[in-house]
Structure formats: C-alpha cells, structure tokens
Amino acid sequence: MNANRKPLVAANWKMNNSVAEALALVEEIKRQAAEIKGIEIVLCPPFTALPAVSNAISGTNLDLGAQNMHWEKAGAFTGEISAAMLRELYCHYVILGHSERRTLFGETDASVNGKVKTALASSLRPIVCVGETHAQRQAGKTESVVSVQVREGLNDIGADQLAAVVIAYEPVWAIGTGKTATPRQAQEVQAFIRKLLEEMAGARLAQSVRIIYGGSVTPDNARELFREPDIDGALVGGASLNAESFLAIVKSTG
C-alpha cells in the first residue's frame, strides 16, 4: 500500500447469486462495512442482480461494478450489455479482460482495448485484468506477457484518462486454485506494471494508478499482500461470496 493511493477492494461474484441471495449478502456486507472509511469497496454482481444491488447500496459507502460490457454503444449484439445500460444502474466500475473471459470467451487485447475506451468515454472506471498462465511463468515469460496485455489493452488512451483505470494483476494459476502468489511475486510484477505505466504516460500518472492483486485472496493472506508498496487492494472471487471473509479482507487494508 502507498498512502498516496486510496485502497480499492472489489468483489467479483462471477456467475453466482440469485437476486434474493445477492440481496441477503449485500445486507450483511452493508452492516459490517458501515464504519469503514478511506477504502473503496466495489461489489460486482452478475448483470441480473445489478438493479437490486444498486438500489440496496444507494447512500452507503459501497460502490457498484459490472463484470463485463460490450465496446459498441448499441445495436445488434444479442446477449451483450452496453456501457450506457450499466451507467443507468449507477455502476461506476466494470471488470474488463478477466482471464476467464479471455480463456473461455475469446477476449483479446484488442477487444479489451475497445471496451476500455468505451468505458472511459462513458465515465465508467475499468478494472483491467492482466496475468500470466503457469506455463508462461515457468518459461520465464511473465513480464513479456503482462507487458503486451498492458500496452495493448491500454493502447491509445491519454494520460488524463489513464488516471481512471484500475489494473488488476491476476496470475491465471492463482485464480480459484488456492495457490496465491507470494507477496514478493505479486509485488515484483506490480512494480513492473507501474514501470510500464511510467514509460507510457509519465511518473506522475504511474504513481496515481491503483494496481490491485487478484488470485485466491483470503483473510489469511490479504494483510501480507497489502504490505507491499505496489499492491493497492484486491480483486476477490471466492472469498467475496461470504460477507465475513470479504470484510476481513477489506479491513486488512488498514
């Protein structure tokens, strides 16, 4: 953590929770989060639960994010959701380029770049996910893989707009596996990402962008991760489906 950057912890519920389940979980999170200050807490439910969750967190210290969106404004894109539709529900964040979307649904750095541009043009803050597979790490390619994802995903975006971007470093081998990156492994890559941002848009911008870590974050490993200078928060999957463990992670930022 670095005192100049506000910590951000986001809950990625993935394809979990009916509307009723989402509301029950939000009530519990709301109650436990009421006293927390100085941290951005973002809930990213599935699309179907966005209206109910948006309503339930109105006026609280919780913010809303979506898990994906399309790069076009509107039109014949069956099954897709636009940035304006998300804004209408008071979404302020959107997760883009999650490794599950890249691996299972064919997302590329080019499509991520299109989505980032549309999100920014619609005043949505993108949480852009990058990270290497186990095989890529074994082959010593972590930096080159992450470098391409960051440069192409954020291609042609001005420094003023980059300030609104959050980058989530999520090593693919750590997602949903219980195998968290060590604080040192995560810090190494996140410092590298900050250096890339500096090359792309200058030191000042690079120092202001939040870079969060994702991949099997739990209440047991969060505090150690957050001690690293370039880890500004977390993108939490499994452990965000339970209010107690999610809030324990949120509180570990302090």
Of 120-128, 201-209, 235-243, 245-253, which segment contacts ligand PGA by CB under 6 A?
Answer: 235-243
- For ligand PGA, which is the closer residue by CB, 173 or 205? 173
Q: Is 92 a catalytic residue?
A: no
Cβ atoms of 116 and 96 within 8 Å: the answer is: yes
Based on the shown chain and the rule CB under 6 A, indicate whether residue 43 belongs to the binding site for ligand PGA. Answer: no
Does residue number 153 form part of the binding site for ligand PGA (CB under 6 A)? no
What stretches of the chain adopt beta strand conformation (E)?
8-12, 40-44, 62-66, 93-96, 125-130, 166-169, 210-214, 233-236
134 is catalytic: no
Q: Which of 22, 195, 68 is nearest to 211 (CA)?
A: 195
166 binds ligand PGA (CB under 6 A): no
Per CB under 6 A, 175 contacts ligand PGA: yes
Which member of 98, 100, 107, 228 is catalytic? 98
Neighbours of 197 (CB within 10 A): 23
Site string for ligand PGA, 205-234 (x = CB under 6 A): ---------xxxx-----------------
User: Which residue, 99 or 136, has its beta carbon nearer to ligand PGA?
Assistant: 99
Check binding of 238 to ligand PGA (CB under 6 A).
yes
Q: What φ, ψ does residue 103 adopt, rounded to 5°?
A: -80, -45
Shortest Cβ distance from residue 145 to ligand PGA (Å)?
Answer: 17
Phi, then psi, of 9 in degrees rounded to 5 = -125, 120
- Contact in structure between 168 and 128 (CB atoms under 8 Å): yes
Query: Is-contact 168 212, C-beta < 8 A?
Result: yes
Q: Looking at the annotation, which residues are catalytic?
A: 98, 170
Q: What is the contact surface with ligand PGA in residues (CB under 6 A)?
A: 12, 170, 175-176, 214-217, 235-239
